[in-house]
Chains A and B, each alone.
Chain A
Amino acid sequence: MRLSEEFMILFRAALLGGNPGEEDMKVLSSAGEEDWRKVAAIAREQNVTGLVGDVVQGLPETINIPEDIFLYLLAEREKTALQGRRMAVLAAAIIQNLKDAGLNPILMKGPATAAFYPKPELRSYGDIDLYFTKDEFEIARDIAKSADGFSLSGDGSFHFRKDGVDVDAQLLRFDVSSPDEVILMLSAHAMRHACGTGLGLRQVSDVAMACKSLEGEYDPARLEKALKKAGMIKWQTLLASFINNRLGIQIPSPGKEKIPDTPLLKIVEEGGNFGHHASGRGKAMEKSVAGRKLDTVKRLVRKLPFSLRYAPKETLRTIVSLTVGNFKKNA
């Protein structure tokens, strides 16, 4: 769904932690019922109703919002905040338990990224992702074996449930001890989704908020060097273009020339929440394993012109790993 002007005004204000400016208020004042319905629909599709609802609840009464849309967004704001606070408490308790057992888990993705937002509890996430160093991974796995819903994945990662929340634990394969590496990791995560299943606005704003929060702590020159090594210069230039143009947050662009952000805009508008709203994805879970694999290949092939242009190294790695994976299965 196309990102409307009204929606982007509200989303930008949420990221900056304030109210829309005077000019933006004029746009919101002239928005009609259909515009507000679109705002709610886009916010839902991009899974940012909590962030958008927070700005809407603070808008002056002179701005005419349909009652049902206002109540929906207000309720979403509170629901997201309640869930966010619950998840933060739960994540802290799990980490403390593991620390008491002598381990040092690293919290990543949702809960860690939420901390970069002005109101962390409004950046929704559904599960808790923990990473362990090689030395600690097996010990953590042994401890988790007695937990509810423990299961192992083919890649060696393990999962369990705590108070109804999914916890995923993985082996830490790269260093994330410096701010540069955190930004690199978030950017790479977004790139993989852009080239694969789809990318939502929230994953883009995660990179923007990390850059904003860590400003002065990370070294743009060192980050650029790491991006170059990872073959991500073009991708990061595109991402920076989108963030600078649309999110109102200025982040350094590693590319020498300015490039239009429209290829990424198209993916974000198609993708929604991690691509869960992309056409045909809703029925994906009803399909067989073979059907889902075919869908994945179709999606990757469809994105090839984008992937080869903005993430050639990653695309090559994905093609090789898919081919090797299928070869191993057929051998």
Chain B
Amino acid sequence: MRLIDEAILKESRGKLILLVFDKNGTRAMEVNESFAFLWNKFSGTDFSTEDLASALVEEYGIDPESASVDASSTITIWKDSLLLKEG
């Protein structure tokens, strides 16, 4: 999997905001800290659900099972929000 390139993560006025400029137009969404962490870590690289889970364990010290659940739900959000590259 790979994240789309046409997006920028910004911190402004105490908020983390993902701005997407793709073929669907311009979108802006407020995201949380763990979303931002994963986005920054995996932008521009290929990754798997397991990579995301490992990163969450390392960064937040959570147990592997919870990390795996969080990683899966993050990927679902990315898919639903068209933030993953097609193909």
Contacts and interface: CB of A to CB of B under 8 A. Distances in A.
Interface of A: 57-61, 70-72, 74-75, 78-79, 82
B24 to A, nearest CB: 13
B52 to A, nearest CB: 25
Given A79-B21, A82-B21, 15 more contacts: A57-B10, A57-B12, A57-B13, A58-B12, A61-B13, A61-B14, A70-B13, A71-B17, A74-B10, A74-B17, A74-B19, A75-B19, A75-B21, A78-B19, A78-B21
Main secondary structure of the interface of A (DSSP, over half): helix
Of the candidates B13, B17, B21, B26, the one having the most CB atoms from chain A within 10 angstroms of its own CB is B13
Shortest Cβ-Cβ A-B pairs, 5 listed:
A71-B28, A57-B12, A75-B26, A61-B13, A75-B28
Contacts of A72: 28
Nearest to A81: B8
A78 B8 contact: yes
Contacts of B13: 57, 59-61, 70
Contacts of B14: 61
A59 B13 CA distance: 7
Interface residues of B, number: 11
Contacts of B17: 71, 74
A72 B28 CA distance: 8
Interface string B30-64: 00000000000000000000000000000000000
Contacts of A60: 13
30 contacts: A57-B10, A57-B12, A57-B13, A58-B12, A59-B13, A60-B13, A61-B13, A61-B14, A70-B13, A71-B17, A71-B28, A72-B28, A74-B10, A74-B12, A74-B19, A74-B28, A75-B19, A75-B21, A75-B26, A75-B27, A75-B28, A78-B8, A78-B10, A78-B19, A78-B21, A79-B19, A79-B21, A79-B26, A82-B8, A82-B21
Contacts, number: 31
Nearest to A70: B13
Nearest to B11: A57
Contacts of B27: 75
B30 to A, nearest CB: 8
A225 B17 CA distance: 52
Nearest to A53: B12
Contacts of A58: 12
Contacts of B10: 57, 74, 78
A237 B21 CA distance: 43
A304 B1 CA distance: 63
Nearest to A59: B13
B63 to A, nearest CB: 35
A74 B27 CA distance: 11
Contacts of B19: 74-75, 78-79
A60 B26 CA distance: 24
Nearest to B28: A71
A74 B14 CA distance: 13
A223 B10 CA distance: 44
B54 to A, nearest CB: 31
A162 to B, nearest CB: 21
A48 B13 CA distance: 21
A78 B14 CA distance: 17
Of the candidates A59, A61, A78, the one having the most CB atoms from chain B within 10 angstroms of its own CB is A78
Nearest to A62: B13
B2 to A, nearest CB: 20
A206 B21 CA distance: 28
Nearest to B29: A71
